[in-house]
Amino acid sequence: MHYRNILFDLDGTLTDPREGITRSVQYALAKLDIHEPDLANLEHFIGPPLLQCFMQSYELSEERAWEAVNHYRDRFKVTGLYENRVFDGIDALLGRLREQGRTLYIATSKPTVFAREIARHFGFDRHFRHIYGSELDGTRTNKVELIAHLLEEEGLDRTDTLMIGDRKHDLIGANRNGLHGAGVGYGFGSREELLGEAPAYFFASLDELGRAFG
């Protein structure tokens, strides 16, 4: 693993945000008079851009989906942000990567303002040079655009940069920007979903990911 620059997805890769995201989606849907009592049915919202997920999952117009996103944010920014936990072993892994002289970044579809607060609150922001997310108006929720923006802003060498994530969107973003991608199987994407994007690496567990870096 020669890469000097490591890009990490946030949800499902660094943290388990299951409770905060699904409860906030449930809240948003209820505001639209759509009632989903089973939070497990909302786990597919973890990872993809929210607007598109609301539109596709509930056949909402873009205008109606934006209403759902705004209701989601009303709850998420107050409560859902903190209904989260860092995966066991992540802090040690990040510290080891920095000791090896690597430069770390977060690349997430989540709005930057939320991503920064999560990293600050849970105490792992110190490991990252910069945190890149989307804008509240939806700009750069697409991982292809987000990673392209990060590469341009930081001036990174694509051959020396690795993207790590738990959903196909992370790997598509890496592939289309000429990066190697690593899929991790401990998050919310299935093995089939991840291997379907032909990643350079697949790590079934966090232990496997850590061992790959020595």
The catalytic residues are 9
Burial class of residue 44 (count of CB atoms within 10 Å of its CB; 0-12, 13-18, 19+):
middle
The size of the chain, in residues, is 214
Count of Cβ atoms closer than 10 Å to residue 61 Cβ: 9
Nearest-angstrom CA–CA distance, 122 and 16: 12
Nearest-angstrom CA–CA distance, 116 and 124: 10
Count of Cβ atoms closer than 10 Å to residue 198 Cβ: 11
Burial class of residue 74 (count of CB atoms within 10 Å of its CB; 0-12, 13-18, 19+):
middle
Structure tokens at 130: 């910069």
